[in-house]
Structure 1
C-alpha cells in the first residue's frame, strides 16, 4: 500500500469517527431533551397560557380507612377499588388578549399501559381567561388499580408537558380508629361556633367567595350561606345540613350547588379548596358548627 493511499484511508477513518461521534452526540442530546420534557414541571407555559400546579392529593375510596383525606360515602364518590386524585391548578394569561382553557386539556396517563384518564367532571365547559387574569380550577381523576406510576399531563394543541409524576397508593390495611376523617360528622369533636366564625371570616377567608351573610344580594362567586341551616338540609336527600357541610368541605365536587348568584349556575368544577388538607378535626367541627348556626343573617 502506498503512503498516499494509507494517508487517505486514515483521513477517511478520522472523518467517519467524527461523524459517528457527532451522530451519537445529537442522539444523546435528543434523548436528554426528551427526558427533560418528560420531567415534571410545576409551572408550564403552552399556547400562550401559563399553568401552575398548586396541589395534588389522593383521596381514599369510601371503604378505606387510611390516614389521608378520604371521601365519606357520598354521591359522586369514586367507585369501589378506585382512588381519586384531586388536583388544584391555576391558569394565568400573560397575553393581552383573552385565551380559552378547557379542563379536559389535563390528562392522567399510565405510561406503562398507554392508558389515559380524563377529569371526572364531564362538563366540557370552556373557560375564558382574560388578559393578566388568573383562573383557579380543581379537577379530580378516578384511577383503578394500576401497578405503574401515573403522570399528570397538560395537552394543549400540539404541545404536551408533565406537571406531576405520582404512584397510585395501595389500599391500606388500617383500622377505622386510625382514620383522619370519620365517615359521619357526629364523630368529629364537639364544635365551637365562635371558633368557627373566626375561621370563616379570618384564616379561611370564606366570605371572599361566599360574600356577606346578612343579605342575599352582594358580590360573590359562591352560594349565599346566610341561611345555611335551612338550605343545607335540603341539598342532598337524607343528609343533614351538618353532614352536607362536612362532605362538601372534604370534597367540593361531590355536590355542586345549582345556583351561586341569582340565575347563574355554580362553576363546574368547584373552585373551593380542599379543606380536609388544611384544617384539623377540631377546626372542621368548629366550621361546621358555625355554618349550621346560620339561620338567616349574620
Structure 2
C-alpha cells in the first residue's frame, strides 16, 4: 500500500496542505482500544495542474469530473489482548460547515485487528470544489480525534489564487514557523533532505546554502523572490543539480504550494529558506 501511494503521489504531483481549525490535529490517536497513525496524506493532482493539456482518463474508481481525491495512508494497531474491529468508515473528511465525506476508495467493510497486529490501510476521499478547511476525523463510538486539517487544491478551471507579484508584498515572515512547516507539516525533507545534513539523501536540490545559491538561479532575482516564485510555479525554473551530481528531471513534481499555503505561511517558509546558513 505504501509503495502504491508513494508512486501515485510522485506521478501525480501530490500536495499536502495543513491548517489548524477547532481541534488541534495530531497524527497519532488511540480510541476504544485501537491506535491509528496518519502516515501520509496526499492530494492527487490532475495532469493539467502542471500545464499538461491531457484530460484525466475516466477509469473505474477514479474521482468524478470536478472532484479531487485526498489519499491517506494509515497504520492501525491493536495494543490490547483481545481482537478489535475497525471500519474504514470510521474516518471522515469534515468541512467546517458540517458537510462530510466518507471514504470513496478503500472499502467500507469492517475487519478484525488481532492483538499486537499492525495493519496498513489506504483510503481515498473525493471532494468537490470547496475553499473551506477540511478536517480528517476518526470516530469510534462517542470518542473522536482529528488527525489532519487541509484545504482542497484548486483545479485549473477554478481560477488561480490571488498572489502578489513580489515577495516584498508578503507579510513579515517567521523563520521558526517556516522551519516547522518545512520539517513537519509539509514534509519538504522527503525530497530536499535535511538542510542540517548537507551530505544526506535527497531527491531534489539540496537547500542548505539556499541564501547564496538561490540568488544565482535567475539573473537579477533575489534568493527570496526565487524561493517565492518556485513555490508558486515549480516548473518555471528547473535547478541544474539534484541528487549528487545528477541533473534534475525536466518536469517538476514539486507540489503547487500556491494552492495550499496562506500568505503568512508562504512568508514564513521563504523566511526560513533564506535564513539557512551554509551547511546547516
Name the structure, 1 or 2, with higher relative contact order (CA <8 Å, separation 6+).
2
TM (norm. structure 1) is: 0.45
- Greater fraction helix: 1
**Max Rg structure:** 1
